[in-house]
């Protein structure tokens, strides 16, 4: 039986810093640090836990452990983030600890490009040098180029969850999902190596896990980290998903 790859949007509360009102300020970089601290990146990069760099006045990386530095990015260009924010419910934490939701006042659809799909349709769009006649697409491509040209080791969070319908995610399933997404990963990797030889990783949610992908030599499975390793991520995901999620 052929597996069916599903894609869900990650709630904007998870992606947008301080989206939920009435709680302490938060930053997505903090849960990214939680995840890499429970991955084999710690053992392979000096054996020390990573710390979030709160102040970055001198272009410091987002996380460091004294041996290895890494920056975090979200594969979400401004038009996409604006659309997600404008069309999502507003979320408030009340003084009594309850969560209140308000329907978005924006009723007009807002278009944006899903760059993972763009790379499938046009895998050479980052490197072929052809003219892009669509201004919105051109802006999105330029944002991703700038992201990938970062002169730091980077880990890029995908704004979607990927999973196979009816299957629990494990290493074998995660590897199959990575293979399904490999055209997009390769498109970004090929541009990245024209700009820098520093490390490139991707991360995406799949059921109860965060999957880490290594994109340095080949596109390959790197590690599988339970979502429960980050209380912040679990909280934001739950609060940002008021409707029940059915797990096949």
Note whether 73 and 79 are within 8 A (CB).
no
H-helix or E-strand spanning residue 232: helix 231-239
Instruction: Kindly tell me the sign of the dihedral angle through the C-alpha atoms of 51, 208, 186, 131.
Output: negative
Angle at 43 between CA 169 and CA 193, to 5 degrees: 75
Number of other residues whose CB lies within 10 A of the CB of residue 58 = 5
* pLDDT, mean of residues 157-166: 96
Q: What is the per-residue pLDDT for 79?
A: 76
Q: Report the distance separating Cα 201 and Cα 75, nearest Å.
A: 12
Grade residue 129 by pLDDT with cuts at 50, 70 and 90: confident
DSSP state string for 137-189: HHHHHHHHHHHHT-SS-EEEEEEEEEEETT----HHHHHHHHHHTHHHHHHHH
Q: Say which residue, 22 or 118, is predicted with more confidence.
A: 118
pLDDT tens digits for range 197-220: 999 999 999 999 999 999 998 999
Find the range with the poorest average confidence among 19-28, 154-163, 176-185: 19-28
Grade residue 245 by pLDDT with cuts at 50, 70 and 90: very low
pLDDT tens digits for range 233-244: 999 999 888 664
What global pTM score does this model have? 0.92
Grade residue 112 by pLDDT with cuts at 50, 70 and 90: confident
Which residue stretches of 38-134 are H helix? 41-44, 78-87, 115-121
Q: What is the per-residue pLDDT for 108?
A: 72
* Beta-strand relationship, 69-74 and 90-93: unpaired
């Amino acid at each position: 039986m052929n597996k069916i790859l599903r894609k869900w949007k990650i709630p904007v509360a998870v992606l947008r810093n301080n989206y939920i009102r009435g709680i302490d300020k938060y930053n997505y970089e903090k849960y990214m640090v939680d995840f890499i601290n429970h991955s084999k990146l710690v053992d392979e990069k000096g054996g020390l836990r990573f710390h979030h760099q709160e102040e970055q006045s001198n272009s410091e990386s987002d996380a460091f452990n004294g041996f290895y530095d890494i920056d975090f990015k979200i594969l979400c260009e401004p038009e996409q983030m604006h659309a997600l924010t404008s069309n999502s419910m507003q979320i408030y934490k009340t003084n009594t600890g309850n969560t209140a939701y308000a329907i978005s006042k924006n009723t007009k659809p807002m278009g944006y490009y899903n760059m993972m799909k763009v790379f499938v349709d046009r895998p050479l769009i980052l490197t072929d040098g052809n003219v892009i006649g669509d201004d919105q697409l051109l802006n999105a491509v330029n944002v991703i180029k700038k992201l990938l040209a970062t002169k730091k080791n980077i880990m890029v969070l995908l704004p979607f969850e990927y999973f196979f319908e009816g299957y629990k995610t494990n290493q074998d399933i995660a590897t199959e999902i990575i293979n399904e997404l490999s055209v997009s990963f390769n498109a970004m990797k090929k541009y990245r190596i024209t700009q820098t030889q520093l490390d490139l990783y991707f991360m995406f949610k799949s059921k109860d896990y965060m999957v880490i992908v290594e994109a340095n030599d080949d596109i390959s499975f790197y590690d599988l980290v339970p979502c429960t390793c980050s209380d912040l991520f679990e909280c934001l995901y739950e609060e940002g998903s008021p409707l029940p999620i059915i797990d096949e």
